[in-house]
Amino acid sequence: MRPIQEIVEKLGLNWNDIEPYGRDKAKVPLDLFNREKPMKGKLVVVTAITPTPAGEGKTTTTLGLTDGLNLVGKNATAVIRQPSLGPLFGRKGGGTGGGLATAEPATDINLHFTGDFHAIQSAHNFLAAMTENSVKNHEIEHFNPDGITWRRVTDAEDRALRNIAIGMGKSADGPVRQTGYDISAASEIMAIIALAQDYSDLRARLSSVVVGWTQDQKPVSAADVRAVGSIMVLLKDALKPNIVQTNEGNPVICHAGPFGNIAHGCSSIVADRLALQTSDIVVTEAGFGADLGFEKFMDIKVRQGGEKPSAAVLVATVRGLKWHGGIAQKELAAPNPSAVEAGSSNLKHAISIVRRYGLPVVVAINRFPEDSEEEINIIQEVAKAAGATNAVQAKGFAEGGHGMMDLANELCQVLSEQSATVELLYEDEDSIIDKVTSLAKKLYQAESLSWAPLTRTTARRFEANGWNFPICVAKTHLSISADQKLRGAPTGHIFPVQEFRIAAGAQQIICLAGDIMTLPGLPSDPNAFDIDLQPDGSVTGLL
């Protein structure tokens, strides 16, 4: 790794203005860049086909492409989310790329990093304590324990905390009631950190967070329980973007980490802005597939003030398309061109989603050693026929930036020759019902929708409070539909609207589609079994 001072100076920032965290990490104070300064660079968003158990490699592609762009003479910076500890110790593993296309220091980034997640978790749970205290002291008329909706969060995949009872025991204060925990990456405060553009915006958003409802159906906010000032103090450093580097010494801004299936799945607006003010090309990543992270990038992040992207890179793999073609995971390494062709319906649909939003799209074929040329050719033909400008092999894992130069050159050509005409899926003033229906039918290819009891009533109540916010769908990431068993590009299915939740601070309506776990559990053989600290202080089994 290069000294972090070199990376900071490569961004054109003065080292004396930076807040270093050790030798290889640094934070950027918000006063070093402003909202009014024009953007120097062009933004490229990396998305993917619908995820599979084989893994598609968006982060690897994002980092490798950044290295490739720098090798072809561009001043490029990557912007990625911070990994969550839950998947790290669970099944997914680290979130800093792989092979020769990684963000460094990978171990630190995947663990405690600069403390942002701990600050967000502390702020979230402190708000829960302040809410409980307000009810206990009868500070808000008609606000009772059963009106509290603000759950707590943890960064551990602890299924025992999904549903809990509190207020038990002889010395308990307050009645026994049911509540629970969500994963910290699903916290509304995590979403707010990713969307807030400065401290004033952060304060306004935190003040609007809904923590419960009175008996006469009036929302109770974080401002009402007088928690905002203390939460601001807890989050004062968490809003500052973090600078690290790629394996090849190019800048990476790593900030915020909302999940893409149960939250909006994008890194922060301030991280994008910092990179765009200091770089020619900024490569950022949206969570999971085009139907989730990319859609939310456009309809939530861009709609709320995020910079508009100029192009998209869509990651596909031979293995992933075989999976969508109906092949079992244990058979994905065997050549099977017919399965690739069958599964390419998912690639076509992902391309159509990106094109619907007005962006040119380049397909990156994340290359694995067992992929055959015939299978690669099929993907290239399908991609171009579906509207992609090209489909280029990406070899960042094995070859680093040198294996991404073809993709980098193709992207540069697209950025110079084509322009994006960004169009969002729905209008702000559309009803919540109409917004969800648009998503279900236009992107998820549902034939119809089913509405659980009280969902439409809840939607009308939200609208009566003036919450004309974009929709954040929480659904399985393993299918375009809400049924993870449906591979490829299924049609004719029913989209189940199970529940609406308000995230007024993050300015979005959360729509739970089906039985969604907002706190994952550990698998029977978690990654934690293989993680350990060696006598010399090195960490093994983490990445």
Per residue, the 3-state secondary structure of 88-123, as one string, reads HHCCCCCCCEECCEEEECHHHHHCCCCCHHHHHHHH
230, pLDDT greater than 90: yes
Q: What is the mean pLDDT of residues 299-327?
A: 97
Can you give the pLDDT at residue 226? 98
Half-sphere exposure of 402 (CA within 13 A, CB side): 3
Which run of H or of E encompasses 221? strand 219-221
* Token couple for 440: 């279900």
Output Rg (C-alpha) for the chain, integer angstroms: 23
Asked which of 328-342, 343-357, 448-462, 511-525 is least confident by mean pLDDT, the reply is 511-525
What digits encode the pLDDT tens for the residues 374-408?
999 999 999 999 999 999 999 999 999 999 999 99
**Rounded distance between C-alpha atoms, residue 320 and residue 405, angstroms:** 23
Q: What is the mean pLDDT of residues 115-131?
A: 97
87, pLDDT greater than 90: no
Can you give the pLDDT at residue 417? 94
Note the helical H segments in 396-440: 396-399, 405-417, 432-438
**Rounded distance between C-alpha atoms, residue 309 and residue 293, angstroms:** 14
210, pLDDT greater than 70: yes
Whether 302 contacts 280, CB under 8 Å: no
Q: Which of 172 and 541 is assigned the larger pLDDT?
A: 541
pLDDT band for 35, please (50, 70, 90 cuts). low
pTM here is: 0.95
pLDDT band for 313, please (50, 70, 90 cuts). very high
Asked which of 71-75, 82-86, 409-413 is least confident by mean pLDDT, the reply is 82-86
Whether 425 contacts 442, CB under 8 Å: yes
What digits encode the pLDDT tens for the residues 137-173?
999 999 999 999 999 999 999 999 999 999 887 766 6
449 by DSSP, 3-state: which? strand
**Rounded distance between C-alpha atoms, residue 536 and residue 254, angstroms:** 28
Can you give the pLDDT at residue 403? 98
End-to-end CA distance of the chain: 17
34, pLDDT greater than 80: no
Q: Which of 174 and 49 is assigned the larger pLDDT?
A: 49
Whether 322 contacts 486, CB under 8 Å: no
Whose CA is closest to 499, among 481, 474, 467?
474
Can you give the pLDDT at residue 94? 80
Query: Which residue do the tokens 């004033």 mark?
Result: 200
Residue count (the chain): 543
Check the CA dihedral 508-237-241-197 and report its sign.
positive
357, pLDDT greater than 70: yes
Q: What is the mean pLDDT of residues 86-99?
A: 86
**Rounded distance between C-alpha atoms, residue 47 and residue 271, angstroms:** 18
Mean pLDDT, all residues of the chain: 95
**Rounded distance between C-alpha atoms, residue 324 and residue 519, angstroms:** 27
pLDDT band for 39, please (50, 70, 90 cuts). confident
What digits encode the pLDDT tens for the residues 498-513?
999 999 999 999 999 9
Whose CA is closest to 227, among 135, 116, 155, 114?
135
What digits encode the pLDDT tens for the residues 260-292?
898 999 999 999 999 999 999 999 999 999 999
Check the CA dihedral 204-207-212-217 and report its sign.
negative
| Domains annotated on the chain, with CATH | 27-104+253-417 (3.40.50.300), 116-234 (3.30.1510.10), 432-513 (3.10.410.10)
Can you give the pLDDT at residue 172? 64
Phi, psi of 513 (to 5 degrees): -105, 100
